[in-house]
Structure 1
Amino acid sequence: MEQPNYNYTDYDYNYDPNSTVDYSNFVYLCENFAANSFGAMFTPVWYSLAFIFSLIGNTLVLWILVRYEKLSCVTDIFILNLVTSDLLFAFSLPFWAVDHTSGWIFGNAMCKIMRAIFFIAYYSGIMLLTLMTIDRYFAVVHPLTAVRFRKVHYAGAASLAVWGISIFITIPQMIFCHTVANENQSSCKITYPPKSAHIWRLLGYYQQNLLFFLFPFAVIVFCYCRILNTVIRCKARKKHKTVKVIFCIVVVFFVCWTPYNVVIFLFSLFELQVPEFSTCEMENHLTYAFYISRNLAYCHCCLNPFFYAFVGTKFRNHLIRLLSKCFPCAKICKEYSSTNTTTAKHNSSQICSDIDLPLNLARVEM
């Protein structure tokens, strides 16, 4: 979501009722240099960290998928697409870090390209997380139905649909994105036509709130509540581990994305000129909140590999095998050996105790 660029308001914060000056045609500037300076200092550092951790985590997942998993099941297809989305998202972050520090120095064409990559990755990531949750729900709660529909080619078609929808939704941002020259430097911004800018901004706010937060969050909470109910009814030894994983997935999604969407909703009230939210002081507070909440939301791409891959038995074993080859002198081999022994014992137990929740959506690790 593009930062709301408000630097004026129709309200006179220094209005003098005894003055003979006609204030009706004045537009009063709202100075927010401190908030923008905070964003210029804070955002590049956070983007750089998010880029590094996302690159490391998602590259490891991608390597393990290609090297060991061979993309032979539905889960692998979804994780591959989620990793691709996260890597695309992370790839754009260094460009926006430079934009915050030195301005946009890459030209107008790259402005449109990077903005398109950013939004395509952003939209596809949210939809893929929702799709994976729905798939996991059917695999655990309705396993007989899932057997018929959980096919690799169906997963591929659903993933292609997600990418197609993401590209379609991104078209307006790519069209209206331009390099804007300021006094000291240029920046890559979305500039809507003046006559329809108000409607476009409101559409962007509520699209973000409804389609890419409230709806996915409602689906995720519903699906995981049903999964949790199914897991609790299973008589297994590692039930509490699965409950903790489910709880962490929901909580992390909520913590990362809720503050950002609340700020976006408050900006929509500012756009609608609701009196309590149309003051210069409120605008500055919202700008500070926007920078902080946006950076918190964007770090979610760093956490996806952990919750959707590395907490699962298969991926964890593959990761240990990979690290044992890179660091043969470490004690990883012992851990790998003990993990394999434990896994082998679990394979001979009942189905409920053999479920691998984060990885094999047809089975839930208890």
Structure 2
Amino acid sequence: MNSTTEGGMTLVTTSAPPDLEWTKTAMPVFILLITALGIVFNMFVLVVFWFHKKACTVAEIYLSNLAAADLVLVSCLPFWAVNILNNHNWIFGLFLCKVVHMGINMNVYGSIYFLVLVSIDRYVALVHPLSNSVIRRPKYAKLACLLVWGLCLLLSVPVIIYRNLELQNNVTFCGLTLEVKYDWLYEGALTIFSFIIPIGIISWCTVKIIQALNGRLKEWLNQKMEHKATTLVLAVLLAFVICWLPFHLVKLVFIFIRSDLTSENPLHTCRYIFTCLGFFNSVLNPILYVIVGKNFRKKVTELFKQEDSEVSFRTVSTRTT
């Protein structure tokens, strides 16, 4: 954490990191690996959902938007990897400084709020199955996704306004420059809106879903589709908590004791490791779709058969003309 003074106002630049040598070698490699896998895997998920002949269910609409949010994140990460390789000297200009970090920020919000939507959908489907016909319609799911994207953009406005280039010791940092008192407020609000509130909603819905599954399992043996979708959703939720909870816990510690932290403090190392763990969630989600999502695997098989049929039809048509 570095601070500068301009016009009598103390600013804090949150992107200026401590001098941790291992981050200059290990992190760029890991980030670029996440980028490559994340782009391929999430594009694959979107292709399956978009080009399958059957329309997406409500849960699949939410999961496809989650894949889109993950794709936005991994598309922004190469800039961060190059920045680390370049000793945190930002060479891409002010516009990309704002846009890249806005994309990362939108993923932080988007990922968890799409999981909120998916949790509410599973809650309504399993806890109130008789009253969900109107609420659980694809058009309402698409509208909810649109609202979430709008909310993510709105919550990213401070990044657009306050993310600037800051010259320190002949190094140009792409940092969030705020007065110290407002920086604390911003970081606290970000943690509340990007984790505490949504994770509270998700936890409540998950508890209700598990109670419903335990209490009425025999009544729902014929609703295999709902159970398969719920299993996948619970797996995705668990993966999100495992990947992002350590990051937010360390972030809370930073908010309260940052003034006492030195560059050698182990918390800096934890922050880097847990940030990478959070980014890895964007690669893990598509893997879970394949391993846990029986309906997704079925869609993949049907899509390939659909493509084979179209290729065979074109071949026959070519030969007969």
Map of 1:267 onto structure 2: 254
Match of 1:255 in 2: 242
Return the letter of the residue paired with 2:84: H
Equivalent positions of 1:144-293 (< 5 A) are 144-192=130-178, 197-232=179-214, 233-235=216-218, 236=221, 248-271=235-258, 273=259, 278-280=260-262, 284-293=265-274
- The structural deviation recorded for 1:63 is 0.6
Calculate the TM-score normalised by the size of structure 2.
0.79
- 1:254 CA drift (Å): 2.2
Q: CA deviation at 1:306?
A: 3.3
Counterpart in 1 of 2:116?
130
- Asked whether the equivalents of residues 94 and 165 of structure 2 are also in contact (C-alpha less than 8 Å), the reply is yes
CA–CA distance in 2 between the matches of 1:313 and 1:119? 31
Q: Deviations over 1:8-67 (max 9, x none)?
A: 9xxxxxxxxxxxxxxxxxxxxxxx8542x2322232122112112211221111111111
Which has the greater radius of gyration? 1
- Cα distance in 2 between the residues matched to 1:97 and 1:73: 37
- Superposed, 1:40-189 pairs within 5 Å as 40-69=24-53, 71-102=55-86, 103-189=89-175
Amino acid corresponding to residue 44 of structure 1 in structure 2: P
Residues 323-362 of structure 1 mapped to structure 2, 5 A cutoff? none
| Letter paired with 1:91 | S
Distance in 1 separating the partners of 2:26 and 2:238:
25
Q: Whole-Å Cα distance in 1 between the matches of residues 231 and 147 of structure 2? A: 32
Corresponding residue to 2:301 among 310, 315, 320:
320
Structure 1 residues 203 and 304, CA, compared in 2 at 3 Å: closer, same or farther? farther
What are the superposed Cα offsets for residues 144-188 of structure 1, whole Å, 9 maximum, x if unpaired?
221111112211211111111111111111111122334454332
Check 1:268–1:231 CA distance in 2 against 1; reply closer, same or farther (3 A cut). Answer: same
Residues 99 and 187 in structure 1, CA contact (< 8 A), matched pair in contact too: no
Aligned residues: percent identity?
29
State the one-letter code of the partner of 1:209.
T
CA distance in 1, matches of 2:100, 2:294: 36
Mark the CA change 1:69 to 1:49 in structure 2 (over 3 Å): closer, same or farther.
Answer: farther
Closer, same or farther in 2 for the Cα pair 1:242/1:158, shift >3 Å? closer
Structure 1 contact 133–224 (Cα < 8 Å) conserved: yes
Greater Cα shift, 304-313 or 140-149: 304-313
Q: Distance in 2 between matches of 1:52 and 1:158?
A: 30
Query: Higher relative contact order by CA 8 Å / sep ≥ 6: 1 or 2?
Result: 2
Q: How far apart, CA to CA, are the structure 1 residues paired with 2:55 and 2:252? A: 40
Which residues of structure 1 form unaligned runs of 5+?
9-31, 328-366
- Does the 8 Å CA contact 2:127/2:209 hold for their aligned counterparts? yes
Closer/same/farther in 2, CA of residues 323 and 49 from structure 1, 3 Å limit: farther
SS at 1:38 equivalent: helix
Alpha-carbon distance change, 307 to 215 in structure 1, aligned in 2, over 3 angstroms:
farther
- Preserved CA contact (<8 Å) 1:208 1:261: no
- The amino acid of 1:305's aligned partner reads P
CA contact (8 A) 1:130 1:216 kept: yes
Amino acid at match of 1:265: L
Question: What residue in structure 2 maps to residue 301 of structure 1?
Answer: 282
State the one-letter code of the partner of 2:271. F
CA contact (8 A) 2:31 2:77 kept: yes
Q: Does the 8 Å CA contact 1:224/1:246 hold for their aligned counterparts?
A: no
Q: Name whichever of 147-156 and 73-82 sits farther off.
A: 73-82
Contact preservation (8 Å) 1:112, 1:174: yes
Shift of 1:250: 4.1
Other-structure match for 1:23: none
217-226 or 71-80: bigger deviation: 71-80
